[in-house]
Chain A
Amino acid sequence: MSFEIIASSFQHKDIEQSQLRRTLKCGAIGGGTVVALCVFGLINQFMERWIIENLLSLAHAAFIGITLTVGALIAIRSPKLSPAARIFQGFLVGMVSGVFLSILILIMATFDIRNMFVSLSPKLLMFLSYGFDPYTACAVTIIVGGVLGLIGAAIRESPPWLRKPLITGLATAFFIGLFAELLQLAMQYETVDPIRDYMFTWEGQTLTGAITMFVLGFVLSLFWVMRGKQVMANHRAKSHASQRSIRYFLYAIAIVLFLLFPMAAGSFFGQVLMLVGLYVLMGMGLNLEVGLAGLLDLGFVAFFATGAYTIALFTADNEHLILLIDRPLTWWEALPLAMFASLMMGLAFGIPVLKVRGDYLAVATMGLGEIIRVVVLSDMASPLLGGSQGLLHIPRPWIGDFELNDPIHLFYLTLISSIIAAYFAWALENSRLGRAWMAIREDEDVGQALGINLVNVKLLAYGLGAWFAGLAGAIFAVMLGSIFPHSFQLLISINILALIIVGGIGSLPGVVVGALMLIGTPELLREFGEYRFLAYGFVLIVMMRVKPLGLWPSAVRKRELAAAAEAEAQMRATSGQKA
């Protein structure tokens, strides 16, 4: 709710601002972002990455995209001006952005500040000034900025039938270019060879490819803008039964495509998706604790580790092996043990923090999680758990004579587990236990006075949540083939918490969306090294400002938001009357 108030207060201020301030502010946003990208060294990376081969680098694309955006932004924020004036404002804003960059160029040309900012290299200067002398470069930068801002504002001001296809077309070409390498990896089949060669070289997207993609995006979007309403109307005019069968047909296609995708796309995608799947599993477990029962938990990784270590101890053929029968257990035999061990760990974990409430709980659980990691690392436990050497040679699961040795196989294993877990979470949410969890989240004392046994209910939240994590850990162990204490850092707990918040706390689809966003995307952007975490942080901040309830909020949270907005509107109305 507080986010909403802050966001709306920004909007209110904007209306009162003078046009000049507004222009300068938008320009500063654009120029500041561009300069920041240069200083942080992102542009250095981006300029070596072609969106369109030998023509447009990612750095160019970033400059263009940012300037177009601020041009459009000022057009949105100046509702009182005439359309022509708004487009002109776009020009001004673009120039202001250009001025920022020009100042950077001049500074770089005059002083050597590389010992402070490593990234501001001669190469970057060369890139920024297009090979001109600094003063000409500044003039060019400002003018080009102005023109781009103007185009941005003009796109914004153009009628929807033109604007939407334009944006879609540009975005299509851009993303195809951005993921060119991954797409090529996924297109390693003879049948699609010609398409691949037409679209890409190993350097990036070809110009013809980019144009084709732009046209494709443009045309499809244009068709939808012109005909979409009619198509939907036709659809609605059909009988309910046939509407339903069409819907099921589309669902079926989507599911089949999704199922086949990793198989077709190759093991890299399989690996990324399976990692996403593991986080989905853990996210659903943590969601029981945090989303439903309101028990903050930053030690969740301990349960994950328990699952992984149990699998390793009972299946891996090394000196730490625990023999229950005359041979090591198979993965399938050890799986129930792993889940049971995690459940027990969840209970053991819950007991000391039963009386701890709210924010303190986050700190206490964080401590517990760390203790467990340190114990595993310690010399004391190393004869049993291998210490920092970890446990090696964990065998893959077999189904009959078939070894699940490819990331894609493991992906399907994760997928099936996730589906089962999702059903579990859903059924729990709508049960007596789920209601009790929600009740103690809302008001623990009142819940207890209604006969809810807090000890039972809280321990079940920890235990069942841990259970999901144990399953994830069991798959993780075979994915890596060997496990070490340092694989189970606090960061994992934080990531899981972040992904359920970004997805929408308490929401099952939210967990999937959050995991794709926070785990999947950074994996796909691996080539940008540590910089992708910059994007990660940026996305988190933007997300919480734009969608404070998460990307796919649960129904309950939506109702809460509606209620809060209503209350706020009422407050405004009454305070307005007083004034």
Chain B
Amino acid sequence: MTTGQTLLKTNALTKRFGGLVAIDALDLDVKERSIHSIIGPNGAGKTTVFNCIMNFFPIEGGEIRLSEERIDNMTPDRVAFRGVGRTYQNIRLFKNMSSIENILVGMHMHLKSRWWGAVLRSRHSRADEKKAVEEATRLLQYVGLRGKGDVLARNLPYGDQRKLEIARALAMKPKLLMLDEPTAGMNPSESLEMVGFIRGLRDQLGITILLIEHHMPVVMGMSDTVTVLDHGTKISEGPPDHVKRDKKVIEAYLGQSGVGHMA
């Protein structure tokens, strides 16, 4: 798998918050149709990598390329348009909108209907809307939320909110899907289910996955490549077996007492 073409590439990506160097000259190379994980202790800068790719804030140095095209000077909506979807560590759904509405917002950029079309109820716009609702319903079913379309996002149980967030990102038909700790707060059997689901995204839909995970069994079980961050620098990279044995990784995690997970 690691021999495929590069989808996302960062060169010497650097991000500072005031005096704090959150990411220090990071090189990432995410291959197409791979599952690429980023791990590291708390505060290592993992989420910040996602935020930089999405361009939630300007970066201080380096460049980010998606299929060769530079995306580090684009607004987030244009990055999204190039095919990058993401979820958030602390779920950020539109809480007061229903599940199906959340997904429909995810489909926003693929819908053609314009506001005057909606006002005039043009045939084109009605057809577009109908198709959108059908597709959203299918997506709901795909992530296992069948029949919960009218439930307000805020009223969904925690696990379902995670699924809905993924469905919303999938609605964008992304090439690259970035998942920020998708199994956080889940019990082992739910995590296992999530692993199967994420694999399915890659295998069935051909989506490249960039994953942040704390749960070592999850990471080691399904990643093609693992990148280890500590204090914003890459300290190790490679297939799971390689990373697992890397001294520097064990040290970084020892400081965090996270070594138990590594075994």
Contacts and interface: CB of A to CB of B under 8 A. Distances in A.
Interface of A: 423-424, 427-428, 430-436, 438-439, 442-443, 445-454, 460, 464, 556, 559-560, 563
B51 to A, nearest CB: 9
Interface in B13-44: none
A432 B125 CA distance: 10
23 contacts: A427-B121, A431-B129, A432-B108, A435-B101, A439-B97, A442-B95, A442-B96, A446-B94, A449-B79, A449-B80, A449-B86, A450-B105, A450-B106, A450-B108, A450-B169, A450-B172, A451-B80, A451-B108, A452-B105, A454-B77, A460-B115, A464-B115, A556-B97
Contact of B119 (A427, A445, A450): A427
Interface string B65-77: 0000000000111
B249 interface: no
Interface in B80-129: 80-81, 85-86, 88, 92, 94-97, 101, 104-106, 108-109, 111, 113-115, 118-119, 121, 125, 129
A438 B97 contact: yes
Contact of A433 (B76, B94, B118): B118
Contacts of A431: 113, 115, 118-119, 125, 129
Given A436-B108, A447-B105, A450-B169, 10 more contacts: A431-B125, A432-B104, A432-B129, A435-B108, A438-B105, A450-B85, A450-B108, A451-B108, A453-B77, A563-B152
B167 to A, nearest CB: 12
A433 B115 contact: yes
A446 B96 contact: no
Given A428-B119, A431-B118, A452 B94 contact: no
B142 interface: no
B98 to A, nearest CB: 9
B118 A443 contact: no
A442 B101 CA distance: 12
Contacts of B119: 423-424, 427-428, 431
Contact of A428 (B56, B104, B115): B115
Contacts of A453: 77
A560 B115 contact: no
Contact of B105 (A430, A436, A464): A436
Nearest to B96: A560
B155 A445 contact: no
Contacts of A460: 115
A450 B115 contact: no
B154 interface: yes
A446 B118 contact: no
Contacts of B121: 427
A436 B107 CA distance: 10
Given A427-B121, A428-B115, A443 B77 contact: no
Nearest to A566: B155
Interface of B: 54, 56, 75-77, 79-81, 85-86, 88, 92, 94-97, 101, 104-106, 108-109, 111, 113-115, 118-119, 121, 125, 129, 132, 152, 154-155, 168-169, 172
Given A445-B76, A449-B54, A452-B77, A432 B113 contact: yes
For B80, B104, B105, B132, the residue with the greatest tally of chain A CB atoms inside 10 Å of its CB is: B105
Contacts of B169: 450
B152 A559 contact: yes
Contacts of A443: 92, 94
B224 to A, nearest CB: 25
Contacts of A436: 105, 108
Nearest to B165: A446
Contact of A432 (B54, B81, B111): B111
Nearest to B82: A451
Nearest to A433: B115
Contacts of A438: 94, 96-97, 101, 105
Contact of A442 (B75, B94, B118, B155): B94
Contact of B76 (A449, A464, A556, A559): A449
Q: Would you list the 8 A-B pairs with minimal beta carbon distance, nearest first?
A: A431-B118, A451-B109, A451-B80, A442-B94, A448-B76, A439-B105, A433-B115, A427-B119
A428 B76 CA distance: 25
Contacts of B56: 445, 449
Nearest to A563: B154
Nearest to B110: A451
Given A428-B115, A433-B118, A563 B172 contact: no
Contact of B104 (A423, A435, A448): A435
For A432, A436, A445, A447, the residue with the greatest tally of chain B CB atoms inside 10 Å of its CB is: A432
A428 B92 contact: no
A448 B94 CA distance: 12
Nearest to B117: A431
A435 B108 CA distance: 9
B154 A448 contact: no
Contacts of B172: 450-451
